Amino acid sequence: AYTMYPAYRKKNDKVNSFAERMQGCFQFSMNGKAPAADSEVLNALTAYAYWLSTGAPVGQALPGRGFDEPMPPKGGYDIARGAKVYTAQCAICHGAKGEGKKVGATQVFPPLWGKDSYNWGAGMHRINTAAGFIQHNMPLGKGETLSDQEAWDVAAFVNSHERPQDPRLLNHDIEATRKKFHEGDGVNLYGVVVDGVLLGQGVQ
C-alpha cells in the first residue's frame, strides 16, 4: 500500500498521505484514537511499510492488495440465514454474541459487534466489503470455502448488530450522517431500521 500514497480518499474527501491513511485505521477499524502523524508509532509503521515496498512500482496496485467481492446474490442477502452460517462457522472463534475471544488480557480473536468492535465508519461495516474479506479468509484456515450467498448472508448478519458510533457523526444526527457518508458507500445498514431497531445509534 505504501507506494499507492498520497491518494484521494472519499471517506474524508481529501488527498491522504500514508500516515493519514494509517491514522484512519486507528480511528475507524480499531475504534481508537489516531496517533499523531509524527508519533513514534506512525513513524515506525511508515518505515516498516517503506521497507516492505522495496522494489515495488509506484502508483501500481499489486496482486494481493484488497479482496475481490463476491457477486451480490440474486435474491439478496438474508440476515436470518447469515445467523445460521455464523453459528456454524464463526461463533467458535468470535463468540456467540460477537464478543471475540481473549486469553487472559490478550485479544486473540476480534469482536465483530458491540462496544469493542470496529465502528460504523470502518470499511468492514459495508456488507459487500465484509463479504469479500470473509470469503477469502474465513473461517480461519479455510478461506474460499463459503459460497457467495453464505459470505453475503453472514456479512449482513454481523453488520446488522450495533457497534460504536461513526466518528464523523454530524450534530448527533444519524440520518444526516447516513446521507453524507453512507449513501452510495457500498451496501450498509447504518441508519437503517432492522427488526424495529434503528442501527447507527452506537454503543460505548
pLDDT band at 187 (very low <50, low <70, confident <90, very high): very high
Residue type (1 letter), 60 = Q
CA distance 35 to 100: 25
C-alpha cell read off for 183:
449513501
The DSSP string of 85-126 is HHHHHTHHHH-TTS--EEETTEEEE--SSSTTS--TTSGGGS
Would you state the pLDDT for residue 28?
96
Q: What pTM, to 2 d.p., does this model score?
A: 0.92
pLDDT band at 65 (very low <50, low <70, confident <90, very high): confident
Would you state the pLDDT for residue 47?
97
Would you state the pLDDT for residue 43?
97
Distance between terminal CA atoms of the chain? 32
Would you state the pLDDT for residue 179?
96
CA distance 197 to 160: 10
CA distance 8 to 142: 34
pLDDT band at 82 (very low <50, low <70, confident <90, very high): very high
By the 8 A CB rule, do 5 and 18 touch? Answer: yes
pLDDT band at 10 (very low <50, low <70, confident <90, very high): confident
- How many other CB atoms are there within 10 angstroms of residue 113's CB atom? 23
Q: 101-150 pLDDT, tens per residue? A: 999 999 999 999 999 999 999 999 999 999 999 999 999 999 999 999 99
What average pLDDT score do residues 70-99 get?
Answer: 97
Would you state the pLDDT for residue 64?
79
What average pLDDT score do residues 85-94 get?
Answer: 98
- All structural domains of the chain with their residue ranges: 2-52, 79-198
CATH superfamily, region 2-52? Cytochrome c-like domain (1.10.760.10)
2-52 matches 79-198 in fold: yes
Asked if CATH classification 1.10.3720.10 holds for the domain at 79-198, the reply, yes or no, is no
Report the chain's mean pLDDT, rounded to a whole number.
Answer: 96
pLDDT at 66 over 90: no
pLDDT at 5 over 90: yes
